[in-house]
Every structure is written in structure tokens, then in C-alpha cells.
Chains A and B, each alone.
Chain A
Amino acid sequence: MNRIDDQTLSAYIDNELSPLERAETEAALEQSQALRARLAQLQGADIAAKACFSDIDSEPMPEGLEALIRGDIDATDKSASNVVTFPEHPVRPALPTHPPRRRISAPAWGIAASVVLGVVLFWQSPQGDSNQQRLNQFASNAASGEVLETDDWRAEVISSYQLANGTRCRTLQQHTPDTSRVLQACGEPGNWQWQILNDGESYSTATVDSIDSEYGTQVMSAEEEARWLQKK
């Protein structure tokens, strides 16, 4: 395998590569920071999908459906007030090829995001942004639990961990007077790929646990974290 493309990385995520291909991919990941960052981006799409598709879980089941399955209600009994017999034809048009945007309620998003870690958006901050530089520097030096306060915002390092693919990341929480958000910095100190994991409203301390369950990551001990940060 000469070139590791997105399809190979995708199959790697899904554990669908042959043992040889997997070994070659892991060797390439070990060598390339860019490839590890790309893998994290593709994995982020999965987290986003889980949040979106689980959105409907926050809504109650259609009324009477479970009773219908249990046999408490006869589907042909039109007198049952809570039975909705489905028409043979659409009650509303199916989605057009370009569906219009629809608003999703904030609570529903919050529930979905808290269940599956949160929707991942990829953040490439503008060059020369002094705030971003301070945040980069802080992420490269501060131990978990340390806090950085500026005139405009306050940031705290939550934890450091290593993904199953070897990529090392840190989670930070950033607060401004108006909002909070959880950020993930992956890569190496001084050379981070930043992602916004979710907003502050849906963040919980279970975030790192969720990452663990998703990707089999290992949270670093204080000693491991210190060794990592000193290597920069």
C-alpha cells in the first residue's frame, strides 16, 4: 500500500482492513502528524453523525405504538383514540433533494450532544490571532487542572489522553462572559489541530469517559502528561 487515502483511513476506523493493510496504515500514522490529524477529522464525522441521528431519541415514541405491538390495541380498531392508522400514501411530501433547513430545538440538541460527546466542528483559527496563540501556548505547557485567565476569557485544561490510533489530545474548557465551549487539541505541543467538541451547556464531566468508550482511548496520568509536554 503506497498511499494512505481517506478511504483507507475510513476502513481503518471501521476495522475493515486486512492485517497487512492495518499494519501499514498504523506505521504511516506513526510517521505522519498530518495523517493522524486527518484520521481525527474523519472520526469526528462519526461523532457528529451519532449526535444527529440520536436527536430523535429525545422525542417520545408515537402514542399508542408500543401498546399496538404488545397487542393491547388492535390496529384495525378505528375506535381506539390513540391509534393512528397509516395512510397508503404520503401525508406530506418527502424531502426534496435540497431539504430546507429546519430548526432543531436547543434542548433536543443538548440531550443528543451530551449522550454522544457532542457535535464536532473543525476550527481553523485565523493566523495572527493573539487569543489563539495564547491558547496554543497554554495547551502546550499547562498541566491538567491549570487555568489561564485573560481579560476576555478563562481557559482550563481538563485532561490529556491518547486515542487508540496513537493520536494524543487534550481537552480544554474555555469560558467567556457569554458562553462556554469545550475544545480538543490533538497533535503535539506547539502543533495542535483544534476542534470544538460542544458548547458549554451540554458539556459534562463524562466527556472524557465518552471518548474512552468511543475510541478506546487512554487518559494519561499526571506523569505521562508531564513527560509528553516536556518533549516539545
Chain B
Amino acid sequence: MKAQEQEFRQQLLDMLPALRRYCYALTSDRHNADDLLQASVEKALQRWEQYQPGTEFSRWMYRLCRNHWIDTMRTDKPTDEFEEDSMAQDATIGPEALAISQTALERLQGRINQLSDGLRMALYLVAVEGRSYQEAADILDVPAGTIMSRIARARQQLADGNDL
């Protein structure tokens, strides 16, 4: 195995947990996330020579992963806006629900899953991975200003949606 390929494989190993979380953010489902992770790793190993050493490895992998998700696995159309109606039925939960923390946690998971793909991915890259707006914009192929508005809307909808 060439040294360059070994280095590629090591970088892939190093970022595997982060790549898995990225897959989870994309798919909103653990099983689909692991399927996407497996597929992305296989594709990356087949195409490792296409990676330009010196460029950001995680960005290359995220793009490969996202393209695979869009091209082969995802069957629903992308949603740009948050589906307000889907949350309306949850907005009347009373204080008694506070005692059932597990239920509340599940509801929160549901709310994050219900964010549109664009909002959820902006939230993941900026709030969880700590990337700048420009870095997130480069990964998602949108302007930095779009990331700025999406991350704000994601936080807004989560914060307001969690009022009990």
C-alpha cells in the first residue's frame, strides 16, 4: 500500500466519529446514518486518489457523503422551510409534562428532526462542529449569508418550540 494511501486511510479513521455524526445529521436516523457511513467509506476508499493532499480532508469527505446521500439514498425532496404545522400539535403540552423528562427529551429529538435539511445541517456544522459560517457555506454550497440566516432560524425554532 502506498504511503499516500496509508495517510488517506489514517485520516479517514481519525475522522470516522465526526463523519458518523455528520451522517446522522443528514439522515436523522441512526440506521440510515450507519448505512450512509458505510457507503461513504467504501466510495472514499475507491476514490482516494481523487483527494488532493493539502486540502481539507473533512470537507472532501463531507461533500462525498452528502452527494451520495442526495444521489442514491434520499427519496424525499429537500425542504427549505421548517414545517410549522407539524409542531403545532405539540405546543399545548402543560407543565405536568415536565415530570416526564424522557418524553420531553424525545420531543426535542423530534423537533430537531423536523427542522428542514438546510436548517439542521447549518445547526450541526456551526453549533455542534464549531465551523465558521464560511466553512459551513463551502461544505453546503450556499452563500455564507444563507448560513447566517439558517442557523438563526434553527436556534429560534428550537428555542421557541421548546417552551412548555
Contacts and interface: CB of A to CB of B under 8 A. Distances in A.
Contacts of B112: 48-49, 52-53
A9, A103, A122, A126: most-surrounded residue (chain B CB, <10 A): A122
Given A6-B155, A99-B113, A68 B128 contact: no
Contacts of A104: 105-106, 109
Contact of A16 (B25, B38, B45, B133): B133
A42 B12 CA distance: 33
A49 B31 CA distance: 19
Nearest to A109: B105
Contact of B108 (A85, A97, A119): A119
Contact of A70 (B9, B32, B108, B133): B9
B20 to A, nearest CB: 6
Interface in A99-137: 99, 101-104, 106, 109, 113, 119-126
Given A56-B33, A92-B32, A122 B163 contact: yes
Contacts of A119: 104-105, 108
A125 B94 CA distance: 9
Interface residues of B, number: 68
A27 interface: no
A85 B148 contact: no
A45, A71, A84, A97: most-surrounded residue (chain B CB, <10 A): A45
Contacts of A53: 21, 24-25, 112, 124, 128
Given A65-B38, A86-B39, A126-B95, A11 B148 contact: yes
A48 B86 contact: no
Interface residues of A, number: 68
B102 A69 contact: no
A203 B65 CA distance: 35
B41 A65 contact: yes
Given A86-B35, A95-B113, A14 B108 contact: no
A10 interface: yes
B127 A52 contact: no
A44 B113 contact: no
A150 interface: no
Contact of B114 (A42, A92, A99, A113): A99
Contacts of A48: 108, 112, 158, 162
A199 B75 CA distance: 37
Interface of B: 1, 9, 12-13, 16-17, 20-21, 24-25, 27-35, 37-39, 41-42, 45-46, 72-77, 79, 83, 86, 95, 98-99, 101-102, 104-106, 108-110, 112-114, 123-124, 126-128, 132-133, 148-149, 151-152, 154-156, 158-159, 162-164
17 contacts: A6-B156, A7-B148, A10-B151, A16-B133, A44-B162, A49-B128, A49-B158, A54-B21, A59-B34, A68-B41, A68-B42, A69-B9, A86-B38, A98-B83, A119-B108, A179-B99, A198-B101
Interface of A: 6-7, 9-11, 13-14, 16, 41-42, 44-46, 48-50, 52-57, 59, 61-62, 65-66, 68-71, 75, 84-86, 88-99, 101-104, 106, 109, 113, 119-126, 178-179, 181, 196, 198-199
